[in-house]
Amino acid sequence: MATLTINEQKKVSHIEPEVYGHFSEHLGRCIYGGLFVGETSPIPNVNGMRVDVVNALKELRIPVLRWPGGCFADEYHWQDGIGPREQRKRMVNTHWGGVVEDNAFGTHEYFELCRQLGCKTYINGNVGSGTVREMSEWVEYMTFDGISPMAVLREKNGHKDPWRVNYFGVGNENWGCGGNMNPDYYANLYRHYQTYVRHYNHAAPIKKICCGANVDDYDWTNEVLETTFRHSPEEAHGFMDGLSLHYYVHPTGWKHKGSATEFSNDIWYKTMYKAMYMDTLVTEHGKIMDQYDPDKEIGMIVDEWGGWYEVEPGTNPGFLYQQNTIRDALIAGVTLNIFNQHSDRVKMACLAQVVNVLQAVILTEGPNMIKTPTYHVMHMYRHHQDADLLESRLDGVKTVGTEVDQVPQVSASSSMDQDGNITVTLANLSATCSEPVDVVLKEAGWGRLLEARVVASDDIHDCNTFQDPNKVEERDLEIQMDPQGKGFHVELPAASVAEVRFTRL
Ligand code: AHR
């Protein structure tokens, strides 16, 4: 039996709401059809945004939405996406299916979407094929309050007031699709470009995100930080508020990713092993960051993460549309526990991607919408947002898996919210065996159960479809509260993610 011992009197670090963020790219049916259908669509919408999708995301308390990419960001020229729609330039989306992008969704539409969602904004700028001037004018267009060429243009296009840009990414994957750069070259460009990301609103400065590493490219992290901090270690903290990290779980490798819905138990454990690897990545990149930034003022921003498989049969390979099973629920549960545990360094994370692409929380088909198993995990975990991570320790955890892929059976994290309620999230990584878990608090008196929920199913391949949209969803979980209010006992079903919330009597 596993035991999770929680010290409810020791808050370790704050879990920023942004750790539960999302990512939207001009890719496949994420923006078009998924989030935005246009004002004239028969699909219910407000100013072109799908009502069903916006409402579902609001239920997740979506804290931040990254846009417009991804690889798309380094080919995106923002001026093409403003002004009367019929006059907007068309372009080829070279990365994603070679389809024609008509720029119907641009800067104004993005801010309208974030307004409806009530979330923070995270714009990703173009370093790969854009100029410093272009980037600087975009920031002026979005945020300058007064008379300036870009502010006047914004007003002419229908928005007098400036918007708030919370985060600005200076390039995306510049080691790959964003220009195939070497780390020192990119870092010098970063120093240069970020200079012109001006804080026009001094009361609400923009947080600047530097492009970080792909997976375990520790050399990139080291060189980018070394070059950014060289000659100006004091200023460097002003140069950079966050350093990104991208990591996808490709269970059977990048070239042959395997099916989203058909996989063996061996591949299940390969997936779990690769999901757990996020812990190593955050730890090791974090150690390098500590050398330059010991006070942890620069956030690690995991702005692309999730499972990546072959596309659904019969769909456009460039659209990255995949199904989402119990296996994805586990990737989410395990990864979010890791982020919580590293919340002293991980300040934002964006699941890739929000609708219809990769490990999406929502899938749409015409006017219909379904919530995936990952959605339900994000929904249960929403209580960790803006809470404080509690000190905790797991003991007696078995190792499960195959000879090659061994993982701890149980993953957990716990937090206390602003009202003093405790949330414990647990994942059972075994594909076949349930596991008893004792959760023990330091002191008695925590006897009022608020909710106990679980995402599980009879078959690890189960998913929600448009024919059977609620096959996998959150259900009540049976637990035994300790009579003294010193914790609880639970039998975690095989392949499950659970959430238990309680408070003082
Ligand atoms: O999320 C899909 C793609 O994965 C993004 O465009 C890119 O940044 C990453 O390689």
Question: DSSP of 343-355, one letter per residue?
Answer: TTTEEEEEEE-SB
pLDDT, tens digit, 9 for 90 and up, residues 327-343: 999 999 999 999 999 99
- Residues whose CB is less than 8 angstroms from the CB of residue 29 and which lie 6 or more positions away in sequence, other chains included: 319, 321, 355, 356, 357, 364
Domain count for the chain, please give it: 2
Q: Is 313 exposed, middle or buried (0-12, 13-18, 19+ CB in 10 A)?
A: exposed
Domain shared by 281 and 264, yes or no? yes
- The values of phi and psi at residue 307, to 5°, are -85, 145
From ligand 1's centre to the CA of 499, what distance in Å? 30
Q: How far is CA 416 from the centre of its chain?
A: 21
What is residue 202's three-state secondary structure? coil
* Count of other CB atoms within 10 angstroms of residue 479: 19
The answer, yes or no, to whether the previous bond of 323 is cis (omega within 30 of 0) is no
pLDDT, tens digit, 9 for 90 and up, residues 413-464: 999 999 999 999 999 999 999 999 999 999 999 999 999 999 999 999 999 9
Instruction: Pick from 23, 93, 173 the residue to mutate for probing ligand 1's pocket: most ligand atoms within 8 Å of its CB.
Output: 173
Instruction: Pick from 177, 311, 320, 351 the residue to mutate for probing ligand 1's pocket: most ligand atoms within 8 Å of its CB.
Output: 177
Domain shared by 237 and 325, yes or no? yes
From ligand 1's centre to the CA of 173, what distance in Å? 8
From ligand 1's centre to the CA of 70, what distance in Å? 5
- Average pLDDT, whole number, for the chain? 97
Q: Which residue has the higher pLDDT, 220 or 236?
A: 220
Tell me which residue has its CA closest to atom 2 in ligand 1.
70
Residue of 25, 75, 112, 304 with catalytic role:
304
Provide the residue range defining the domain that includes 440: 2-8+389-503
- Residues whose CB is less than 8 angstroms from the CB of residue 156 and which lie 6 or more positions away in sequence, other chains included: none
Choosing from 329, 362, 385, the residue where a domain stops is 385
Instruction: Pick from 24, 26, 29, 71 the residue to mutate for probing ligand 1's pocket: most ligand atoms within 8 Å of its CB.
Output: 71
Structure tokens at 3: 């035991």
Tell me which residue has its CA closest to atom 9 in ligand 1.
70
Give the integer Cα–Cα distance in Å for 165 and 204. Answer: 9
Mean pLDDT of 308-319: 97
Whether residue 234 has pLDDT greater than 80? no
pLDDT at position 235 is 72
Mean pLDDT of 302-318: 97
DSSP annotation of 404 reads: S
Angle CA 403–409–411, to nearest 5 = 135
Domain shared by 22 and 139, yes or no? yes
Which residues, in sequence order, are bridge partners of residue 491? 436
Give the integer Cα–Cα distance in Å for 361 and 402. Answer: 29
Q: For residue 68, what is the domain's CATH number?
A: 3.20.20.80
Domain shared by 360 and 491, yes or no? no
Give the integer Cα–Cα distance in Å for 427 and 331. Answer: 9
DSSP annotation of 88 reads: S
pLDDT, tens digit, 9 for 90 and up, residues 449-460: 999 999 999 999
Which residues, in sequence order, are bridge partners of residue 461? none
Give the integer Cα–Cα distance in Å for 47 and 449. Answer: 41
Angle between helices 132-143 and 149-156 (to 10 degrees): 60
pLDDT, tens digit, 9 for 90 and up, residues 69-110: 999 999 999 999 999 999 999 999 999 999 999 999 999 999
Which residues, in sequence order, are bridge partners of residue 481? 488
Domain shared by 332 and 415, yes or no? no
Domain shared by 202 and 333, yes or no? yes
Domain shared by 297 and 436, yes or no? no
Tell me which residue has its CA closest to atom 4 in ligand 1.
70
For the CA of 23, the closest atom of ligand 1 is 1
430 neighbors 495 (Cβ within 8 angstroms): yes
Q: Is 50 exposed, middle or buried (0-12, 13-18, 19+ CB in 10 A)?
A: buried
Domain shared by 369 and 412, yes or no? no
From ligand 1's centre to the CA of 71, what distance in Å? 6
Q: Which residue has the higher pLDDT, 502 or 232?
A: 502
Domain shared by 131 and 218, yes or no? yes
pLDDT at position 238 is 82
Choosing from 330, 365, 385, the residue where a domain stops is 385
Residue of 173, 223, 435, 474 with catalytic role:
173
Residue 322: band (very low, low, confident or very high) from pLDDT cuts 50, 70, 90? very high
Domain shared by 333 and 209, yes or no? yes
Mean pLDDT of 304-311: 98
For the CA of 72, the closest atom of ligand 1 is 6
pLDDT at position 237 is 74
Q: How far is CA 64 from the centre of its chain?
A: 9
Tell me which residue has its CA closest to atom 7 in ligand 1.
70
Tell me which residue has its CA closest to atom 6 in ligand 1.
70
Give the binding-site residues of ligand 1, using a 6 Å CB cut-off.
25, 69-71, 172-173, 304, 352-353, 358
pLDDT at position 233 is 67
Q: Which secondary structure element, helix H or strand E, spans residue 84, and what is its range?
A: none
Catalytic (active site) residue 134:
no
493 neighbors 432 (Cβ within 8 angstroms): no
Question: What are the strands, taking DSSP E only, across 141-292?
Answer: 167-170, 207-214, 242-249
Mean pLDDT of 108-137: 98
Choosing from 343, 361, 385, the residue where a domain stops is 385
From ligand 1's centre to the CA of 405, what distance in Å? 26
Angle CA 121–127–133, to nearest 5 = 85
Tell me which residue has its CA closest to atom 5 in ligand 1.
70
C-alpha dihedral, 105 to 110 to 113 to 114, nearest 10°: 170
Angle between helices 265-292 and 218-229 (to 10 degrees): 20
For the CA of 178, the closest atom of ligand 1 is 8
Domain shared by 194 and 342, yes or no? yes
From ligand 1's centre to the CA of 251, what distance in Å? 17
407 neighbors 428 (Cβ within 8 angstroms): no
Whether residue 232 has pLDDT greater than 80? no
pLDDT at position 31 is 98
Q: For residue 493, what is the domain's CATH number?
A: 2.60.40.1180
Domain shared by 197 and 155, yes or no? yes
Residue 279: band (very low, low, confident or very high) from pLDDT cuts 50, 70, 90? very high
From ligand 1's centre to the CA of 34, what distance in Å? 17
Catalytic (active site) residue 75:
no
354 neighbors 303 (Cβ within 8 angstroms): no
From ligand 1's centre to the CA of 247, what distance in Å? 10
Instruction: Pick from 22, 23, 24, 25 the residue to mutate for probing ligand 1's pocket: most ligand atoms within 8 Å of its CB.
Output: 25
Which residues, in sequence order, are bridge partners of residue 49? 36, 46
